[in-house]
Amino acid sequence: MANHVKTQIRDAAATACTSLTTTGARVYKARPDDRPLQASELPCLLIYTDEEVQEVATLGGPTRRLTRMLDLMIDGIAAGSGDIDATLDTIAKEVETALAADATLGGLAKDLYPTRQEKERDAAGETPAHRIRMTFAVEYHTRQNAPDAALA
Amino acid sequence: MAFDEDLSVFFDEDDFAVAATLNGTAAGNVIFDRDYLRQLGIVEGANPVALGQSADYDGTDVVNGTLALSGTSYTVRSREPLDDGAVLLLQLEAQ
């Protein structure tokens, strides 16, 4: 049995965002809090999924079609002084461009688009750390009884 | 009744203090710490600080100045007086 489509979406987003100019191969999916990022792992992207809202699209009991709206979260993390704001903007540009190149993520999604970005800075440290949190809405469809198979 | 207290005994290099320079000039000894810090909940780092006598670090060139100690240079990010203000904590950032 395949993984849940949202797992497949996360994997596809990570693939699309790997080898970007600023963050390179430093792309981490569902990085646990107990494995903090080291300086050598920055700048990087953290990819995870958050809230999902489902709606019934067709009748039909357990085989009914569900429309799912998933929040795909991508955090760009960088450290340093100077104009890190520009670095975060560059990370956002690269991620937005990469994901817009195929808004279906290889046929998994009906649509994908950015909905929100917010920045945070933690200056209390030897090297200030910065984050841009990007939220993308991903619409995908499945049968209720087959959440591992995306519908066209 | 207020009295002048000699704080230098607490900043003796034979104990925990180290010599420091501020902007290239010898300044008062400081007690240096570099505790572990988790930034943004996910980034591993450290928080270097220097404890010194306020009288040694009361100039306008302290904040944003360069504090060098033990072979490492830091930028002073802020100057935080402690308690009655006789000693202070310098928050440091790597250069």
pLDDT, one tens digit per residue, over B23-77 is 999 999 999 999 999 999 999 999 999 999 999 999 889 999 999 999 999 999 9
Determine the average pLDDT of the residues in A95-110: 97
Give me the pLDDT at residue B1, please.
Answer: 47
In this prediction, residue A34 carries a pLDDT of 83
pTM above 0.80, yes or no: yes
* Contact criterion met (CB < 8 Å) for A36 and B44: yes
Q: Give the pLDDT confidence of B75-94 residue by residue, as tens digits.
A: 999 999 999 999 999 999 99
Residue A36: asked if its preceding bond is cis (omega within 30°), the reply is no
Chain B residues in contact with A126 (beta carbon < 8 A)? 34, 37, 45-48, 92-94
For chain A, what are the domain ranges?
Answer: 5-30+40-147
pLDDT in tens, A15-64: 999 999 999 999 999 888 889 999 999 999 999 999 999 999 998 889 99
Task: Tell if the CB–CB gap between A125 and B47 is shorter than 8 Å.
Answer: yes
Is A40 within 8 Å of chain B by CB? no
Q: Which DSSP state fits A20?
A: B
Fold annotation for B17-94: Thrombin, subunit H (2.40.10)
| CATH numeric code, A5-30+40-147 | 3.30.70.1700
- Where exactly are the structural domains of chain B? 17-94
Please work out, in degrees rounded to the nearest 5, the angle formed at the alpha carbon of residue B57 by the alpha carbons of B54 and B59.
120
User: Could you tell me if A105 and A16 are in contact, meaning their C-beta atoms sit under 8 angstroms apart?
Assistant: yes
- Taking a C-beta distance cutoff of 8 angstroms, is the pair A96, B15 a contact? no
CB-CB neighbours of A85 under 10 Å:
13
